[in-house]
Amino acid sequence: MKYILFKGSMNPKSPMEATDSKLKELSDIGYKQGKDYDVVSLKVLEDMLGKAGGGIMDINQMTRPIHMAGGGDTELKGLLQALTIQLMLEKGMEGSTLMPSGNPDTIKRLEDRIQEIKIELGE
């Protein structure tokens, strides 16, 4: 099984499987494999994120009731987080030359997809 390793600081809390549909979604919003993300094995993903063997666990994960251990669809939550960050970057800052606003069509597609995921997650 392969997973998506985002480059930079944008990585979901749980591993995101590299399914055809996820890869297409990333491509549709302008992400490029090799530039913005790589498709890797779970071992490589854990090694790159420093999560292999032990480490400090999140207190919220440790104290969560057993029936909530999965926390819903983790793939969708990871995708929602990634798309939200992408939307924030795409919107930029009004009047800024360092972070100008992006393409309105891309912003609209991102907002629509985020809304679809939120509805699917029941948020």
Alpha helices in 1-123 (DSSP H): 20-28, 42-49, 59-62, 74-91, 104-121
Could you list the residue range(s) of the whole structural domain that residue 73 is in?
A: 2-121
What percent of the chain stands above pLDDT 90? Answer: 0
Rounded distance between C-alpha atoms, residue 120 and residue 92, angstroms: 27
What is the overall mean pLDDT for the chain?
76
Domain count, the chain: 1
Is 105's pLDDT higher than 60? Answer: yes
pTM of this structure? 0.41
In sequence order, the β-bridge partners of residue 41 are 2
Rounded distance between C-alpha atoms, residue 37 and residue 55, angstroms: 24
Is 81's pLDDT higher than 60? Answer: yes
Provide the b/e sequence for 85-121 (b: ≥16 CB within 10 Å): ebbeebbeeeeeeeeeebeeebbebbeebbeebeeee
Rounded distance between C-alpha atoms, residue 118 and residue 90, angstroms: 19
